[in-house]
Amino acid sequence: MTTRRNFLGSAATAIGTMPFAGATLAQTSATAEETATATPAASSYGASTADKGLDVISLPGLKEPFEAAVPEAGYVFVTGAKGDEWTLRENRRAMEDFRIITHRLTGVSPADLDLSVEILGQKMPFPFFVAPMGAHRMVHEEGEVATARGAGLAGALYCSSGASNRTLEEIAAATTGPKWFQLYFNQDEAVTKSLLRRAKNAGYSAIVLTADALGPGMPDRFRAMGAPFRPDASFGNHDPARGGTGDFFAQKADLTPADIRMIKNETGLPVIVKGILRAEDVDPIIAAGADAIQVSNHGGRQIDGVPAAISVLPLVAKAVNGRVPIIMDSGIRRGIDVIRALSMGATCVAVGRPVMYGLGVGGAQGVQSVLEALAAELRSDMLLTGARSVADLTDSYISVTGPSARMQEG
């Protein structure tokens, strides 16, 4: 079995640095401030303490104010990606391969529009939710508690990352909305089972098994800065000072479909497998009992050179063939991106970095503003697409062009 430390150790040796040294140190050093539920005071690290609604012109437009609102380490950690960041850019470029073919004179009025979806028994007012993202205290002093509260204020589902700074219980208590828990499967089965038990007890209604990552993504620029994770922020769920156990970095690298079955047996909850890019991976995952598949390249944070999630979505959707719902993330920034993904077979999408922009600039209310702005944009784009409900979106609304079209040809 490849351990996280072995894996990183050899990678680190190869590049002559120790990328996770700071993070390892941080694992057991929670502060009193971190345990508090009220808005914490400013720290010497200098993360945002904002809590204000934002006038969001566009989600990408928040990147600049985000840079001004958070420490450089937080900005680089969130906005960067792996290697040359080709996949990060490709996630956006490839959206342009999916041209929207609008219907006209369809008689759809704003009052008719229905953006709601249901997935795994969960009704959602709009077809997107907050992607699992770790280490929110790199951005905001309150960390994930603020993000989850903001998601709840917008009525959005919050997916809590296994790499959160706050504990999964604190996060669960902070949101009034639905919630899923994202699992980093630990080599120590007792640790994995304890995380699953805690997630179930805290009211999470599904487990997201991340299959494409072995920890926080490390952009080159972040490593060049010395991987400056906050020394005063822990991986909350593993912090012994807060009831946690296990080594966050001891993640199981050799995952197999049998691990899906274990999660289901242990929790009785639906399991979503996140990080799928290849049609051939679908059958064994569904055979093992997966309840949904999340097409994602982790926002380009784990391996560079893989295609855009939107480019492979049609291929994965063809392989899934309606057996389970599909979620997509990586590159969602606009209402039209949601339309593109849903037309190509996704039931809903997850929004990543823009939520962090909202967190940094406006705290919980900033997150609410981001989600509501995306919903408003989607509403207007849907009306102009000519589809009455998101369920009406099919590939007839899309013309696939460019490199993405060539990928469909095989």
Ligand X SMILES: Cc1cc2nc3c(=O)[nH]c(=O)nc-3n(C[C@H](O)[C@H](O)[C@H](O)COP(=O)(O)O)c2cc1C
* Between 134 and 362, CB nearer to ligand X: 134
Compute the distance between CA of residue 100 and CA of residue 218 in angstroms, rounded to an integer: 35
133 sits near ligand X (criterion: CB under 6 A): yes
Among 330, 365, 369, 385, binds ligand X (CB under 6 A): 330
Please identify which residue in 56, 148, 263, 332 interacts with ligand X, judged by CB under 6 A: 332
Rg (CA), the chain: 20
CB of 184: closest distance to ligand X in angstroms?
7
Of positions 4, 137, 340, 353, contacts ligand X by CB under 6 A: 353
The answer to the question of residue 352 lying near ligand X (CB under 6 A) is yes
Query: Residue 251 Cβ, how far from ligand X at the closest point, in Å?
Result: 11
- Residue among 108 and 233 whose Cβ is closer to ligand X: 233
What are 245's two structure tokens? 């156990």
Spatial separation of the C-alpha atoms in residues 329 and 353, rounded to whole Å: 11
Closer to ligand X by CB, 74 or 152: give it: 74
Residue count, binding to ligand X (CB under 6 A): 25
Listed as own residue / partner, the contacts of 255-260 with beta carbons closer than 8 Å and 24 or more positions apart are 255/185, 255/209, 255/211, 257/284, 257/285, 257/287, 257/288, 257/290, 258/288, 259/185, 259/209, 260/209, 260/285, 260/288, 260/289, 260/290
* Shortest Å, Cβ 410 to ligand X: 26
Question: From CA 186, how far away is CA 248, in angstroms rounded?
Answer: 7
Q: Are strands 98-100 and 398-400 parallel, antiparallel or unpaired?
A: antiparallel
**Contacts with ligand X in 296-325 (CB under 6 A)?**
296, 298-299, 301
State how far Cα 370 lies from the chain centre: 15
Q: Can 298 be counted among the known catalytic residues?
A: yes
| Structure-block tokens of residue 251 | 């993640």
Q: Does 274 bind ligand X (CB under 6 A)?
A: yes
Catalytic positions: 298
Q: By the criterion CB under 6 A, which residues form the site for ligand X?
A: 77-78, 91, 131-134, 161-163, 182, 210, 213, 274, 296, 298-299, 301, 329-332, 352-353, 356
